[in-house]
Chain A
């Protein structure tokens, strides 16, 4: 059964422009929605984001998983991880804070228990990988390399919620280069690198990852934030700081994707607060070749499908293929935006 959503965005419901004698003319323009990222062919540019979609199967009852472009699974580490003590999440205005602590079943159990289902799907399987040291990342990839049905890796060097986790790598360009280069050497599948927004100059990190061999970039991960209970004067989240996601961060994420897209030649997958096709199209226009839907999966599981349908409807209306939309930003002529 598919869930209905009465909050569907304008782009879906906007009527198609009518041309005279439309019925008697050639069939309506059918835009090409496929996108190839580092050799991986996605049937549409909409993926579900790591940590918001489990291992896919959890949503099988709610949506048609075969219509997704891809699924980025919950971050996997070489060894299973217990995660952080509660409380782990807190809702904020148009967003939420989370500090889950990367609880996961570990690479071995992922291959045995989760991957067999994922490889039956038409949606591409992107495995998010994290570690505490370069050796951890390499060890995790070594285990995962045996998996059949993995289409790409997404190296998480940007989780803000583990004691000395991926974030250390994502906030020092030298370490970014080190872990990406080491991972690229062992990775059997294309390597996407997920960057942190919590840096002073995103271009520096995008270029560092590209130089070290990243095949594509995913940006951005969550913004570090916090929230206090004024009655108890204690943080709302046990980890004290936590990652902010949801529509609240969309303009911030969009700016970073815009800047990164101008800094590198490798493809970019845009993510940050996408809840509608219009949101996604903004990311495509600034240069993302694909997008990920994250927090919206929690409250409206059909979001990624609505976004994919909405992008197609937009392309049909504009009579363009997806690739013509990517990077089509029209800046003012005298703009100094970079």
Chain B
């Protein structure tokens, strides 16, 4: 974990109010592991106090040092050390709207890498024993899944992506994901791309046709989508890892603001998304309205 002032290398607008913020920090880029996150602090805005938690979407060499365009790291081995962290985000509130105004050369506070991500020692063995890993992403949740997908692809694991959003413009990052999966199923609520409806419908259709197969599910997205995904995984007897989101005060494990309800008694009833998470085994989390973090 490092706490530093880092230089913005770019802030690219995508469709639907999404952006990719690129920040220079060699040591954080090199330390980052799949599923981890960082806290970004907007400097010079005393009304926006708290740092914002952001999944580490990608890590790359710095093109200004390698002299070429940036390619996914898997295909750029030898093109220089990792030096950039990328954050895929949607401008939805005061913090992210201000973030969208950042330009190359601006500075941000960057604390990371943080949290217990999709750490290989926890799930790679499980992935190898599975016939296939299924990624289920809702909207900006895709940001937590690209690095694990790359790691799994390098390990030779067969993968598939189920990706849903409100409209076509919300389905960002599909092309970046494509090299790592055999197939991608898209879903939009307005039917502008892929299946009309929720992504969990396409996911269930696939699950129901894979009886007897051993699957591992990695999911990230809004609470309702996660809850539906977890229920389906349970119904079809498949193991599931979820990357959780919550409002965070510190991400250092001290404010206890990001706690979610887990299966545990007394003091063990809540765990910190920032420290014990953000990735949890789905059957460890208590789902249901009472434990809903209304983010």
Q: Which residues of A contact B (CB under 8 A)?
A: 1, 3-7, 51-54, 58-59, 61-62, 74, 80-83, 85-91, 93-96, 98, 100, 103-106, 229, 232, 234, 236, 246-247, 295, 297-301
| Interface residues contributed by chain B, number (CB under 8 Å) | 43
- Which listed residue, B246, B248, B254, B268, touches A58 by the CB 8 Å rule? B254
Q: Are A86 and B255 in contact (CB under 8 A)?
A: no
When chains A and B are docked, how far (Å) is the Cα of A106 from the Cα of B268? Answer: 12
Distance in Å: Cβ of A222 to nearest Cβ of chain B:
13
Interchain nearest-CB distance for B268 vs A (Å) = 8
Interface of B is mostly: loop
Residues 234-273 of chain B: 1 if any A CB is under 8 Å from the residue's CB, otherwise 0? 0000000000001111101111111111000011111000
Selected from A58, A61, A96, the residue in CB contact (under 8 A) with B49 is: A96
Cross-chain contact A52 with B255 (CB below 8 angstroms): yes
When the two chains form their complex, are residues B46 and A58 in contact, meaning their CB atoms are under 8 A apart? no
Contact A86 B259 (CB under 8 A): yes
Picked from A6, A88, A300, the residue with its CB within 8 Å of the CB of B256 is A88
Write the chain A residue with the least CB distance to B93.
A91
Of A5, A53, A87, which is within 8 A of B247 by CB?
Answer: A87
CA distance A85 to B268 in the complex (A): 13
Q: Given A58-B252, A58-B253, A98-B249, A299 and B49 touching (CB < 8 A)?
A: yes
Cβ A85 vs Cβ B290 within 8 A: yes
A-B contacts, 6 listed (Cβ < 8 Å) = A5-B109, A7-B44, A83-B259, A86-B246, A86-B293, A88-B256
Overall SS of chain A's interface = loop
Asked whether B270 lies within 8 Å of A83 as measured between CB atoms, the reply is yes
The docked-state distance in angstroms from the alpha carbon of A294 to that of B77 is: 45
**A95 touching B49 by the CB < 8 A rule?**
yes
| Minimal Cβ-Cβ distance residue in B for A48 | B254
The closest CB in chain B to the CB of A236 belongs to: B294
CB contacts (< 8 Å) of A104 on chain B: these are 267
A62 to B253, CA, bound (A): 13
B3 is an interface residue with CB less than 8 A from chain A: yes
A229 CA to B137 CA, complexed, in Å: 26
Q: How far is the CA of A23 from the CA of B109 in the complex (A)?
A: 38
Roughly how many angstroms separate A85 CA and B292 CA in the complex, as a whole number?
9
In the complex, the answer to whether A94 meets B47 with C-beta atoms within 8 Å is yes
Chain B: which residue is nearest A93 at the CB level? B47
- Residue contact B267 to A82, C-beta cutoff 8 Å: yes
Is B295 part of the contact surface with A, judged by Cβ < 8 Å?
A: yes
> Within 8 Å CB of A98, what residues of B?
249, 255, 257
Contact between B257 and A89 (Cβ–Cβ < 8 Å)?
Answer: yes
Residues of B within 8 A of A298 (CB): 49-51, 249-250, 252, 254-255
- Contact in complex: A1, B2 (CB < 8 Å): yes
Q: Which B residues fall within an 8 A CB radius of A?
A: 1-5, 41, 43-44, 46-51, 95, 107, 109, 246-250, 252-261, 266-270, 290-295
Beta-carbon contact of B255 and A105 below 8 Å? no
A232 — which chain B residues lie within 8 A by C-beta? 294
Given contacts A80-B267, A301-B3, contact A54 B49 (CB under 8 A): no
List chain A residues, Cβ under 8 A from B43. 6-7
> Contacts A7-B43, A247-B46 known; A89 to B255 CB distance under 8 Å?
yes
- A190 to B92, alpha carbons, bound, how many Å? 49
Query: Smallest Cβ distance from A229 to chain B, in angstroms?
Result: 7
B17 to chain A, nearest CB (A): 18
A2: nearest chain-B partner, CB-CB? B3
CB pair A247–B49 under 8 Å, yes or no, is: yes
Given contacts A86-B260, A229-B294, contact A299 B41 (CB under 8 A): yes
Q: In whole angstroms, how far apart are the Cα atoms of A74 and B44 in the complex?
A: 29
A330 and B60 CA atoms in complex are apart in Å by: 57
In the complex, the chain A residue whose C-beta lies closest to that of B110 is A3
Give the distance to chain B from A230, nearest Cβ to Cβ, in Å. Answer: 13
The answer, among B48, B247, B250, for a CB contact under 8 Å with A90, is: B247
Asked if A82 and B250 make an inter-chain contact with CB atoms under 8 angstroms apart, the answer reads no
Given contacts A54-B252, A87-B295, contact A82 B44 (CB under 8 A): no
Q: Is the CB of B48 within 8 A of A297?
A: no
Residue contact A85 to B51, C-beta cutoff 8 Å: no
On whether the beta carbons of B291 and A91 are closer than 8 Å, the reply is: no
Decide: B107 and A94 in contact? CB cutoff 8 A.
no
Instruction: Decide: A103 near B49, CB < 8 A? Known: A1-B2, A86-B259.
Output: no
Residues from chain B with Cβ under 8 Å of A62 in the complex: 1, 3, 252
A sample of 15 more A-B contacts (CB under 8 A), given A61-B1, A94-B46, A298-B49, is A1-B3, A51-B255, A62-B3, A85-B261, A87-B294, A87-B295, A96-B49, A100-B259, A103-B259, A103-B270, A105-B267, A236-B294, A247-B46, A298-B250, A298-B254
Question: Is the CB–CB distance between A81 and B267 below 8 Å?
Answer: yes
Contacts of B109 in A (CB 8 A): 3, 5, 299-300
Taking the closest CB of chain B, its distance from the CB of A26, in whole angstroms, is: 37
Max count, chain A CB within 10 A of own CB: residue among B4, B247, B248, B292: B247
With a 10 A CB-CB cut-off, give which of A58, A62, A98, A299 has the most chain B CB atoms. A299
A74 and B267 CA atoms in complex are apart in Å by 14
Is A246 a contact of B260 with CB atoms below 8 Å? no
A234–B292 alpha-carbon span in the complex (Å): 13
Question: Is A91 in contact with B294, judged by CB distance below 8 angstroms?
Answer: no
Nearest A residue to B269 via CB reads: A82
CB neighbours (8 Å) of B255 from chain A are 51-52, 89, 98, 100, 298
- The CA-CA distance from A298 to B290 in the complex, in Å, is 27
Q: Output the nearest chain A residue to B295 by Cβ-Cβ distance.
A: A87
- Nearest B residue (CB) for A98: B257
